[in-house]
Amino acid sequence: MSLSKIHEIAATLENEYVRKWKSEGNAVVGHACIAMPKEMAEAGKILPFRLRGAGNADTSTADSYLSRYNCSLCRSCLELVLNGSYDFLDGFVRVRGCDHWMGTFDEIAHARKPEFVHYLKVPHLVNEDTLEFFAGEIKRLKEAFEGRFGVEISEDEIVRYARIQDKINEKMREFYKLRFRKPNFYGSDAIAVMVARESLPSDIFFPLLDSAMAEKRKIDYRAKVLLAGSPLDEIELVRKIEEMGALIVAETTCFGGGAFWNMVEYDGSDVYEFLARKYLENLKICARMFGEYAYRKNFIKSMAEEAEVDGVILQHNKFCDLFGIENAKLRMDLEKEGIPTLVLEKEYASTADIGRIKTRVQAFIERMGR
């Protein structure tokens, strides 16, 4: 069954397909942001593998490098790098995300000294100048890949993979719509799908997704909820929320619909200009992007309306300055528009948090009258 296979992949780091990919002489690079141009990497037989905490709550070693006032997702990922769980990676692309992630990559470079670390600078604004700059940064990344891994990345191959990503994004939208009005999948299934996508070659992921979509489930729930906020790959946390009766039918996070819902398709233009526009404009879903609060609020509202949800959960990890501050304003604005909203501050993968979260979710369901 493809859905169970997807959950199996999402529960591991170096999955069987990554091992096969590497056995064929191909490279795998770690990154931590949806601004990473997947098609350009895969065009050079380089698999972009998104770093995640894999439910690891132990940050005892990472805490000696990063302060405990840093995001616990970043500390969990650093812990996995330090303990060797990510040793299958051939290097890292340091994408300019938040300051917590920048500090994490500083410590990876210091403690592990990987042979390849490239800094992909990502602007905080979207305008003519920043799009031109980002197109140049994508070209620099291409040249770095070619120099380090001895590959040639042609524009024709980038276009071919861009069209493959377009197909995957369209299929993902179809999958999401199966969760909206009459849900056929759990939110934990959707998070597993997104984690698998960030861990597999495109030609492996697409048929798995296509097959999994046929495995519709019978779903019981009390309320339908949209999940928004900071990056969340915690499948077990979503399961616990759904066990309370709050079914997650949509996410605007970057491990959810935010990663693909608004992405433009290839239009035949200069491929580097296209990639810059595709990834930078889509990144407006992230609180790191200056002046785009209205965009994010409207994205949450429009998806909430399309999915016909009963309420919205805004979550973030403790000490996440970007989403912690924005979630407070979002809650007030969404409540003013009649959308019941719950803000959940949490620690990544902490079992100590579960009782408190379940109590708050239970009270939220009752407030929604469900």
Residue-wise pLDDT for 269-316, tens only, equals 999 999 999 999 999 999 999 999 999 999 999 999 999 999 999 999
Q: What is the pLDDT of residue 236?
A: 95
Is residue 126 a contact partner of residue 289, using CB atoms and an 8 Å limit?
yes
Residue 100 tokens, joined: 């917590």
Q: In angstroms, how far is CA 183 from the centroid of its own chain?
A: 22
CA neighbours within 13 Å on the CB side: how many for 180?
A: 15
pLDDT of 1 > 80? The answer is no
Spatial distance between the Cα atoms of 203 and 4, rounded to a whole number of angstroms: 18
Does the pLDDT of residue 131 top 90, yes or no?
A: yes
With cut-offs at 50, 70 and 90, classify the pLDDT of residue 370: confident
For residue 343, give the amino acid letter. Answer: V
Q: What is the mean pLDDT of the chain?
A: 96
Q: Which residue type does 293 have?
A: Y
Q: Who contacts 228 (Cβ-Cβ below 8 Å, separation ≥6)? A: 251, 252, 253, 300, 312, 313, 314, 315, 327, 330
Q: Which fold has domain 157-367?
A: Rossmann fold (3.40.50)
* Segment 207-223, tens digit of pLDDT: 999 999 999 999 999 99
pLDDT of 352 reads 80
Task: Say which CATH topology domain 2-153 has.
Answer: Rossmann fold (3.40.50)
Three-state secondary structure call for residue 56 = coil
Q: What is the pLDDT of residues 49-64, one digit of tens each?
A: 999 999 899 999 999 9
**Rounded mean pLDDT of 345-360?**
91
Q: How far is the C-alpha of 87 from the C-alpha of 82, rounded, in Å?
A: 9
Average of per-residue pLDDT across 236-245:
96
The alpha-helical segments, DSSP class H, found in the chain are: 2-10, 16-23, 38-42, 72-82, 99-112, 128-149, 155-177, 187-197, 202-212, 235-243, 271-282, 293-307, 321-336, 354-367
Specify the residue for token string 């759904």. 242
The pTM (predicted TM-score) of the whole model is: 0.96
Going from N- to C-terminal start, the domains of the chain cover 2-153, 157-367
* pLDDT tens track for 56-104: 999 999 999 998 899 999 999 999 999 999 999 999 999 988 999 999 9
Summarize pLDDT for 17-51 with one digit per residue, the tens.
Answer: 999 999 999 999 999 999 999 999 999 999 999 99
Report the 3 state secondary structure along 285-319: HCCCCCCCHHHHHHHHHHHHHHHCCCEEEEEEECC
